[in-house]
Amino acid sequence: MNRLSYARRGRFDVVLVWASDRIARSVKHHLEVLDELNRLNIEFISFRENIDTGGPLGRAIVVIIAAIAELERNLIIERVRAGMRRARLEGQRIGRQPLELDQAAIYHDRCRGQSIREIAKGHRISTATVQRVLRTQPVQDLDKTA
């Protein structure tokens, strides 16, 4: 159950947040939440900005801060994407290194009767990775490769 459903049931009278940009990701959503809180006679208070929406000035300031927070978030996203594009163009790898798996050893261990958990522990990989490797070649075909 989300927090607004508690508000609709009258479970509280005030919403106190550390920063006003934490209540929503966009100005539109922020305004929708504030409107609903206002309709429900629930006060919105932002601790960091020291804003109280009890009056019209506080509400206007919250809208301005929400717009600036959304702009800042979008600028950060764009800078990260630009940095990743530049890194790719320079030949740098984005993300973690792919796993180097000894698939034959995994198949062999399974044919010897080891459990998936034992194989994962022995190869220092996850059980999901063991299952993915084993799915690429059915168990009945493993006898032909051994």
CA distance 146 to 142: 6
| pLDDT tens profile 74-127 | 999 999 999 999 999 999 988 888 888 999 999 999 999 999 999 999 999 999
With a cut of 70, say whether residue 140 has pLDDT above it: no
What integer pLDDT is reported at residue 59 of this predicted model? Answer: 74
CA distance 94 to 91: 9
- Evaluate whether residue 95 is within a structural domain: no
Q: CATH no. for residue 54? A: 3.40.50.1390
* 20 closest CA partner among 52, 74, 62, 60: 62
**What mean pLDDT is predicted for residues 38-50?**
83
Whether residue 52 sits in one domain with residue 8: yes
Token duo for residue 3: 């927090």
CA distance 116 to 121: 9
| pLDDT tens profile 45-69 | 888 877 777 677 877 887 787 788 7
